[in-house]
A = this chain, B = another copy of it.
């Protein structure tokens, strides 16, 4: 398969494919002649993965490069998992965070076992700081309830991972789950927010077209 075909098979423009190859995101095809190369099914799959990570997962090209490299490496699964987490998280320096916020996160998650460098721990502390800086306070255990929801999701993640066999398949699932999981949860939360508030307030969100709800369609 030549590049035009690869482009057609994935919907990614040729110029973009070349760009990904240059960026080290995608392997170049097998060169048969100085100016001919051949691409296979693996390239199609990889390109789909790249597009998913970038478009749906919102990763940068550099971030995608890192997680793909981790999948292809022979690092143990736990390390790939760490790389995936770090890559999707902003780089936060423990010293730039409010120690009190960190303590409160640790207290909130007491019983959980994680490293002090876990990107989620640091990011959660930053959210707590920002939340309070804008004058909000957690009156009804908002953080605690989010932690419970996060635990459910994490259990689902690990269960799903266990259906895969072999290091590479598992590594791929870890990366996809880490990246797309954020997008999936965010999406479902929005639907759930509308659902819950329509129940709670019995005020249609957009009265003028409430006849078009999904429920009403069926």
Select one of B122, B139, B143 contacting A184, CB under 8 A.
B143
How does the 8 Å CB contact mask read for A191-208 relative to B, with 1 for contact and 0 for none? 111111111110111100
Q: A134 near B190 (CB under 8 angstroms)?
A: no
Q: A124 near B52 (CB under 8 angstroms)?
A: no
Quote the shortest CB–CB distance from A107 to chain B (angstroms).
10
In the complex, A36 has a CB within 8 A of chain B: no
Q: B146 near A191 (CB under 8 angstroms)?
A: no
Task: Collect the chain B residues with CB atoms within 8 Å of residue A204's CB.
Answer: 78
Select one of B45, B120, B140, B152 contacting A156, CB under 8 A.
B140
**A153-B146, A206-B82 known; A213 and B134 CB under 8 Å?**
no
Quote the shortest CB–CB distance from A11 to chain B (angstroms).
10
Select one of B49, B89, B135, B200 contacting A190, CB under 8 A.
B89
Task: Collect the chain B residues with CB atoms within 8 Å of residue A182's CB.
Answer: 182, 186, 189
Q: How far is the CA of A138 from the CA of B180 in the complex (A)?
A: 13
Select one of B48, B114, B139, B187 contacting A195, CB under 8 A.
B114
Q: A134 near B48 (CB under 8 angstroms)?
A: yes
In the complex, A147 has a CB within 8 A of chain B: yes
Which of chain A's residues 103-124 have a Cβ closer than 8 Å to chain B? 106, 109, 112-124
Please report the total number of A residues contacting B with Cβ < 8 Å.
100
Q: A184 near B136 (CB under 8 angstroms)?
A: no
With CB as the reference atom, state the residue of chain B lying closest to A200.
B158
How does the 8 Å CB contact mask read for A85-109 relative to B, with 1 for contact and 0 for none? 1001100000000000000001001
Query: Which residues on A are within 8 Å of B, measured CB to CB?
Result: 45, 48-49, 51-52, 55-57, 78-79, 81-82, 85, 88-89, 106, 109, 112-124, 126-127, 130-131, 133-136, 138-143, 145-160, 162-163, 172-173, 176-178, 180-201, 203-206, 209-210, 212-215, 217
Q: In the complex, given contacts A113-B214, A140-B163, what are 10 additional A-B residue pairs having Cβ atoms less than 8 angstroms apart?
A: A78-B206, A109-B191, A112-B215, A116-B212, A119-B187, A124-B184, A126-B187, A142-B177, A151-B192, A162-B200
